[in-house]
Amino acid sequence: MRVAVYYNNHDVRIEELAKPQINKGEILVKVYASGICGTDVMEWYRIKKAPRILGHEISGEIVESKVKKFKVGQRVFVSHHVPCNKCKYCLADNHTACEVLHTGNYYPGGYSEFIQVPRINVDTGTYILPDNVSYDEGTMIEPLACVLRGQRTAGVSKGYTVLILGSGVSGLLNIQVAKFRGAKVIAADVSEYKLNKAKEFAADEVFNAKEERSIKADVVIICTSAIAAVEQAFKYVDRKGKIILFAIPDRNISVPAVDFWRNEITMLSSYGAAPVDLKESLDMIKDKKIDAGKIITHKFPLERIQEGFNIVSQAKESLKVVINPH
């Protein structure tokens, strides 16, 4: 089968790999759609393990099953990371800290024609796609679930003012979720294209991040790796407010210690999603509470994945890029 092997952002090669053989309790999924995540082009982070086959936002069709729970022909979304549900983290509802979640995956990766889904991912990370959810929309389940977890952790609710720094894919999803929860949403970016998208997705206010504003937000969600956004977050967060590092900079950050202490600011990070978030995400997409398909701006066949990586890396007039291996 064909796979796309990542060497660096500008070198993603189509290579041949043997089609996976499944074992008892596993399924084989024919990948129809695989989203390119912003983390896939964080070269400083990804290149440490290159060459490798990336891709963790997939949907497809079961073509072989050795488990009673799922049948050949079913359309599914498969989560790449699943928790053990037994460790101290899982039992405390901190599933994303689970070691099993951090180390598990399906084989060989989403940028391939087929994936072998291990038993644990079959048991707790495979979801049937409703008829009204397309394969392309299925790639948005995991990104949306990550947003749901981040805002759940921060307790975003009605009456909050939420400032979102960065209006790319994760920023737009955060806008939609915060609005759904009843918050007032302010969005910032340095790109006029993305600011216009923030308006389309019903942000109450938008502004260019290069400008100064008089804002005090209960929650500031950083959805860009720009180090300047961290500095702005401390400027705009209100007393007793929360800052969420949804995206991460490529280097360590500085914390204004006096403001952090005097204003009792809380800093949170948000990594991944728990099963409860994935289920909620799928339901929201199915019920059209979130317009996932509207965020997809580009689609390419597997052999043109390098074009997709170029577009995501440049981060200009694009949002979600989806690869269609079949």
Cα 20–Cα 7–Cα 110 angle in degrees, nearest 5: 35
Determine the pLDDT at residue 32: 98
Determine the pLDDT at residue 251: 86
For the chain, the three-class secondary structure string (H helix, E strand, C coil) is CEEEEEEECCEEEEEECCCCCCCCCCEEEEEEEEEECHHHHCHHHHHHHCCECCCCCEEEEEEEECCCCCCCCCEEEECCCCCCCCCHHHHCCCHHHCHHHHHCCCECCCCECEEEECHHHHHHHEEECCCCCCHHHHCCHHHHHHHHHHHHHHCCCCCCEEEEECCCHHHHHHHHHHHHCCCEEEEEECCHHHHHHHHHCCCCEEEECCCCCCCCEEEEEECCCCHHHHHHHHHHEEEEEEEEECCCCCCCCCCCHHHHHHCCCEEEECCCCCHHHHHHHHHHHHCCCCCCHHHEEEEEEHHHHHHHHHHHHHCCCCCEEEEECC
Instruction: Provide the domain count of the chain.
Output: 2
Cα 107–Cα 112–Cα 113 angle in degrees, nearest 5: 110
**Residue 275, in any domain of the structure:** no
Alpha-carbon dihedral sign for residues 275, 300, 106, 272: negative
**Residue 274, in any domain of the structure:** no
Cα 223–Cα 197–Cα 303 angle in degrees, nearest 5: 80
164 shares a domain with 81: no
What is the per-residue pLDDT across 97-153, written as a single tens digit (0 to 9) for each? 999 999 999 999 999 999 999 999 999 999 999 999 999 999 999 999 999 999 999
**Residue 286, in any domain of the structure:** no
- Determine the residue type at 103: T
Q: Which two tokens stand for residue 136?
A: 């392309």
Q: Which two tokens stand for residue 43?
A: 């070269």
Domain final position from 269, 284, 301:
269
Quick one: which of 193, 239, 186 has its CA closest to 213? 186
209 shares a domain with 228: yes
**Residue 159, in any domain of the structure:** yes
pLDDT at 250 over 90: no
What is the per-residue pLDDT across 262-293, written as a single tens digit (0 to 9) for each? 999 999 999 999 999 999 999 999 999 999 89
Determine the pLDDT at residue 140: 98
**Residue 284, in any domain of the structure:** no
Determine the pLDDT at residue 249: 86
65 shares a domain with 25: yes
Q: Which two tokens stand for residue 297?
A: 């701006």
Q: Which two tokens stand for residue 38?
A: 């912003």
**Residue 63, in any domain of the structure:** yes
**Residue 122, in any domain of the structure:** yes
131 shares a domain with 8: yes
What is the per-residue pLDDT across 305-323, written as a single tens digit (0 to 9) for each? 999 999 999 989 999 999 9
Domain final position from 269, 284, 312:
269
7 shares a domain with 132: yes
136 shares a domain with 8: yes
Average of per-residue pLDDT values in the chain: 96
125 shares a domain with 27: yes
Residue 155 sits in a domain whose CATH number is 3.40.50.720
Structural domain of 261: 148-269
What is the per-residue pLDDT across 86-110, written as a single tens digit (0 to 9) for each? 999 999 999 999 999 999 999 999 9
Q: Which two tokens stand for residue 54?
A: 């990336």
168 shares a domain with 152: yes
